[in-house]
Amino acid sequence: MELVYSSILPNHTKDWASFCTLYQSEFPDWEQEPLNTISERLSEGRYALTGVKDNAGQLLGFYLLDQPRDPEYSMLTFMSVEPRYRNQGLGSRICQHAFTHYTQQKQRWLLIEAEERQSFFYGRQGARRLELEYHIPHFDDSGFSTPMYLMGLMKPDTAGQMDGDFLRRIIEHVFIDGYRVTREDRCLIRQLELIPDKVRTLEWPPEHTES
């Protein structure tokens, strides 16, 4: 299947509506960043939303990249494929397009928060797992947190580990700027405490790890 990749902005009425429908149907409420925040950051150029369509213009999937200026990292925040087009290799093609976009940017790290099953998918696409316990807060401000795997894609000249202080800056930024928690938030404080001085990256899934 030939795919057409194109940027989506809130003023692209049809494509934006198709994105919103897929986004809201595929992610639980606690995991959904408010659409008005996504819209604002797309308009500011902070976010990059790429739609994946067929030749007839039907949206088959999308991915959303967060590209803050400081600290220097990018994050693949959301990626999804229409359910009826899954198990056809489409997800891998979309993911590789996102990874290629990242390699053209200045940031050395592309981070991905993923549940276990999704972490295996991203690992097979070339991402590595950061070796640390990781929990994310909920967007619905319920006071709960959910365990995730923090995955990373790095530029070739980056060592196979991340400095703990650098990662703490990133996580603090992700939680405060992204999840909108305060510096006194228990989830943030606990997460910062869990980051060691050096964070190794692991080949993933585990069966691909060298002994």
The whole domain housing 54 covers 1-67+78-106
- Residue 115 falls inside a structural domain: yes
Helix-, strand-, coil-residue percentages of the chain, each rounded to 5 = 35, 25, 35
Specify whether 144 is located in the same domain as 89: no
Pair 107, 71: CB distance under 8 Å: no
pLDDT for the residue 208: 52
Specify whether 98 is located in the same domain as 143: no
Whether the predicted pLDDT of 45 surpasses 70: yes
Specify whether 97 is located in the same domain as 7: yes
CB proximity list for 117: less than 8 A, separation 6 or greater: none
d(CA 153, CA 101): 12
Specify whether 93 is located in the same domain as 16: yes
Which pTM does this prediction carry?
0.91
Total structural domains within the chain: 2
Q: SS3 letters for 96-130? A: HHHHHHHHCCCCCEEEEEECHHHHHHHHHCCCEEE
Confidence of residue 210 (pLDDT cuts 50, 70, 90): very low
Confidence of residue 133 (pLDDT cuts 50, 70, 90): very high
Q: What is the CATH number of the domain that holds 95?
A: 3.40.630.30
Whether the predicted pLDDT of 104 surpasses 90: no
Angle, helices 90-103 vs 116-124, to 10°: value is: 70
pLDDT for the residue 157: 61
pLDDT greater at residue 206 or residue 53: 53
pLDDT digits (tens, 9 = 90+) for 74-101: 999 999 999 999 999 999 999 999 999 8
Pairing mode, if any, of strands 74-81 and 109-114?
Answer: parallel
Nearest CA-CA partner of 60 in 1, 9, 123: 1
Mean of all residue pLDDT scores within the chain: 92
pLDDT digits (tens, 9 = 90+) for 115-127: 999 999 999 999 9
Specify whether 200 is located in the same domain as 115: yes
Specify whether 131 is located in the same domain as 99: no
pLDDT digits (tens, 9 = 90+) for 137-149: 999 877 789 999 9
Specify whether 120 is located in the same domain as 102: no
pLDDT digits (tens, 9 = 90+) for 160-173: 889 999 999 999 99
Kindly state the average pLDDT of the residues 169-183. 94
